[in-house]
C-alpha cells in the first residue's frame, strides 16, 4: 500500500433552531439542541483534499490557498488526534488494516464562498475536513455517521450537522464526555423536495464578533439566553420536528422566523451587546413581513398563521437566508431584486448576485 489521497466536499447548513452557547468550551457541548437544513452540495460548499503519505515529515494544512500553522489550530489538532486514535483502535482490532500510525498528512481545504461572513463556513469546513481525513484513514465507512459528527463537533459545533443531508437535529445530549452530543438526520433531502433556500448576501466582509467568542459572552451575561434554553428551545425543537414531518410550511416558517428573532435578541441582550444584523438585514425582515402580510390569515387558536410565502433567518452576520417553496421562488426573487437592485460598482457587483437560488 502506498499513499491514501481523497477529495471530499461538504455543504453548509443553515439552522432554523439556532445553536448559541456552550456548556463545555473544550468539548464544544451546546447549551441547547438545534436543527438545520443542509443546503445542496452544488452551491455553498467546502472542498478538502487529504493525502496521507509515509514520505511526509509533518502534518501540514492549507486553508483557502494559504498555509496555516497546524499546531496552533487547537480544534484541528483535536479532530486529527481523535481520528487517528479511532484508526488505531480499528487497526488493533483488524489485522487487515495496515499500521500507518507514523504517516503524516497534508490537508488542503477551500470554500467556494466568503469565509467567516456568517455563511456557516466553519460548519462546512470542519465537516469536509473530518470526513476527508476519516476517508483517507479508511475509517469513514467503518463507524456510524453519528460518531463522525461527534468528531466534527470538536472542530466547530455546527459542523456536526453538515455530516448529514436534509433536515438535521443536533441533540445537545447530557453526557459529560459529549458522546451523546451528536447530529441525527430528521428527514432526508427528498422528504420536502420543494423547499428551497435563497441566500441574500448583504455583505461578504468578515464578521466583527466571531461566533465562539460571541456565544461565550452571551452565556456569561444574558439572562434572556437562560430563559431561551429552558423555556423556549425544548418545545420549539419538538414543534419544528412536527412541522417538518407534516411538511407544514406555515408552522415551519413561523418557528424559523421566531427563532432567528430570538437568537438576535439574545445577542442584543449580551453585554456589551452583539449586533450581527445591519440596516439591510432589517430591511429584509420588513420586506418579508410585509410580503407575508398580503397572504396570511389567522390560523387555529395558538397555532401559526396560514398562508406564509417566505421565511427569513439570519446567522452570525447580516446575510439573510430565505426558505421558500419552489412555487414562490420566482416571485420572491423578483421582489427582492426590485427592492435591492443590482449595484454598479465592482465590489458591489458581487453583492449584486444578491439573490442566489441555491435550492
Beta carbon of residue 16, minimum distance to ligand 2P0 (angstroms, whole number): 9
Provide the minimum distance between the beta carbon of 168 and ligand 2P0 in the complex, in angstroms, as a whole number.
Answer: 11
Q: Is 186 in the site for ligand 2P0 (CB under 6 A)?
A: no
Q: Cell numbers 468578515 label which residue? A: 206
Nearer to ligand 2P0 among residue 38 and residue 91 (C-beta) = 38
Q: Tell which one of 33, 38, 48, 156 touches ligand 2P0 (CB under 6 A).
A: 156
CB of 26 to ligand 2P0, least distance (A): 11
Instruction: Kindly tell me which of 51 and 153 has the beta carbon lying closer to ligand 2P0.
Output: 153
Q: Please, which residue, 111 or 211, has the CB nearer to ligand 2P0?
A: 211
- Return left, alpha or beta for 64; rule: phi > 0 is left, psi -120 to 50 is alpha, else beta: left
Q: Which positions from 26 to 65 touch ligand 2P0 by CB under 6 A, shown as an x/- string?
A: --x-----x-------------------------------
Beta strands in 71-158 (DSSP E): 104-111
Peptide bond before 69: cis, by omega within 30 degrees of 0? Answer: no
Query: What is the spatial distance between Cα 39 and Cα 350, in angstroms, rounded to a whole number?
Result: 21
Q: Could you identify the residue written with the cell 447548513? A: 13
N-terminal to C-terminal alpha carbon distance within the chain: 41
* Candidates 18-26, 222-230, 282-290, 329-337; binding stretch for ligand 2P0 (CB under 6 A): 18-26
- Check binding of 212 to ligand 2P0 (CB under 6 A): yes
Under DSSP, the state recorded for 121 is: H
Q: Cβ-count burial of 41 within 10 angstroms (0-12 exposed, 13-18 middle, 19+ buried)?
A: middle
d(CA 324, CA 336): 13
Helix axes 145-155, 74-93, angle to 10 degrees: 150
When asked if residue 122 is in the footprint of ligand 2P0 (CB under 6 A), the reply is yes
From the list 38, 135, 158, 296, which residue makes contact with ligand 2P0 (rule: CB under 6 A)?
158
Q: How far is the CB of 76 from ligand 2P0 (least distance, A)?
A: 12
Minimum distance from CB of 200 to ligand 2P0 (Å)?
16
Number of residues that bind ligand 2P0 (CB under 6 A): 16
Minimum CB separation of residue 175 from ligand 2P0 in Å reads 18
Quote the CA–CA distance of 59 and 295 in Å, as a whole number: 56
Q: The C-alpha cell of 243 is what? A: 412541522
User: Is residue 211 involved in binding ligand 2P0 (CB under 6 A)?
Assistant: yes
Q: Does 111 bind ligand 2P0 (CB under 6 A)?
A: no
User: Of 114, 125, 157, 166, which lies in the binding site for ligand 2P0, with binding defined by CB under 6 A?
Assistant: 157
Query: Applying CB under 6 A, which of residues 8, 12, 19, 50 lies at the interface with ligand 2P0?
Result: 19
- Return d(Cα 87, Cα 92) in angstroms, integer: 8
The cell numbers describing 289, all together, are 413581513
Name the segment binding ligand 2P0 (CB under 6 A); options: 17-25, 60-68, 104-112, 285-293. Answer: 17-25
312 bridge partner residues: 322
Least Å from the CB of residue 157 to ligand 2P0: 3
Q: Which of 131, 315, 319, 329 binds ligand 2P0 (CB under 6 A)?
A: 315
Closest listed residue to residue 305, CA positions, set 261, 240, 265, 255: 255
Q: Establish if 11 lies at the interface with ligand 2P0 (CB under 6 A).
A: no
> Which residues inside 251-270 make contact with ligand 2P0, applying CB under 6 A?
263
Name every residue whose Cβ is closer than 8 Å to that of residue 241 and which is 6 or more positions away in sequence.
35, 169, 186
DSSP state letters, 41-70: TTSSEEEEEEEEETT--S-EEEETTEEE-G
Comparing C-alpha atoms, which of 244, 235, 238, 143 is closest to residue 193?
A: 244
Shorter beta-carbon distance to ligand 2P0: residue 34 or 109: 34
Interaction site with ligand 2P0 (CB under 6 A): 15, 18-20, 28, 34, 122-123, 156-158, 211-212, 263, 315-316
Amino acid at each position: 500500500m502506498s499513499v491514501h489521497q481523497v477529495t471530499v466536499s461538504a455543504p453548509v447548513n443553515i439552522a432554523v433552531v439556532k445553536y448559541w452557547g456552550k456548556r463545555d468550551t473544550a468539548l464544544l457541548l451546546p447549551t441547547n439542541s438545534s436543527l438545520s437544513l443542509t443546503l445542496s452540495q452544488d452551491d455553498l460548499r467546502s472542498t478538502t483534499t487529504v493525502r496521507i503519505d509515509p514520505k511526509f515529515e509533518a502534518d501540514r494544512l492549507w486553508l483557502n490557498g494559504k498555509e496555516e500553522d497546524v499546531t496552533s489550530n487547537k480544534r484541528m489538532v483535536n479532530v486529527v488526534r481523535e481520528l487517528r486514535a479511532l484508526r488505531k483502535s480499528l487497526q488493533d482490532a483488524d489485522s487487515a488494516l495496515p499500521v500507518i500510525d507514523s504517516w503524516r498528512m497534508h490537508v488542503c481545504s477551500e470554500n467556494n464562498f466568503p469565509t467567516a461572513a456568517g455563511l456557516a463556513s466553519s460548519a462546512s469546513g470542519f465537516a469536509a475536513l473530518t470526513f476527508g481525513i476519516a476517508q483517507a484513514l479508511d475509517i469513514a465507512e467503518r463507524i456510524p455517521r453519528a460518531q463522525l459528527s461527534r468528531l466534527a463537533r470538536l472542530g466547530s459545533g455546527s459542523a456536526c450537522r453538515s455530516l448529514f443531508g436534509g433536515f438535521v437535529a443536533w441533540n445537545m445530549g447530557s453526557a459529560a464526555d459529549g458522546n451523546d452530543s451528536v447530529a441525527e438526520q430528521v428527514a432526508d433531502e427528498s422528504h420536502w423536495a420543494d423547499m428551497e433556500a435563497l441566500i441574500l448576501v448583504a455583505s461578504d466582509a468578515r464578521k466583527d464578533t466571531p461566533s465562539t467568542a460571541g456565544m461565550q459572552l452571551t452565556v456569561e451575561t444574558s439572562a434572556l439566553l437562560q430563559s431561551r434554553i429552558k423555556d423556549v428551545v425544548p418545545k420549539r425543537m419538538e414543534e419544528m420536528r412536527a412541522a417538518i414531518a407534516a411538511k407544514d410550511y406555515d408552522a415551519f416558517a413561523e418557528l424559523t422566523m421566531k427563532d432567528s428573532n430570538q437568537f438576535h435578541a439574545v445577542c442584543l441582550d449580551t453585554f456589551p451587546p452583539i449586533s450581527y444584523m445591519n440596516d439591510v438585514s432589517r430591511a429584509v425582515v420588513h420586506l418579508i413581513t410585509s410580503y407575508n402580510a398580503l397572504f396570511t390569515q389567522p390560523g387555529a387558536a395558538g397555532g401559526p398563521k396560514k398562508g406564509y410565502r417566505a421565511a427569513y433567518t439570519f446567522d452570525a452576520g447580516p446575510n439573510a437566508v430565505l426558505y421558500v417553496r419552489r412555487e414562490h421562488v420566482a416571485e420572491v426573487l423578483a421582489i427582492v431584486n426590485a427592492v435591492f437592485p443590482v449595484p454598479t460598482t465592482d465590489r458591489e457587483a458581487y453583492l449584486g448576485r444578491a439573490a442566489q437560488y441555491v435550492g
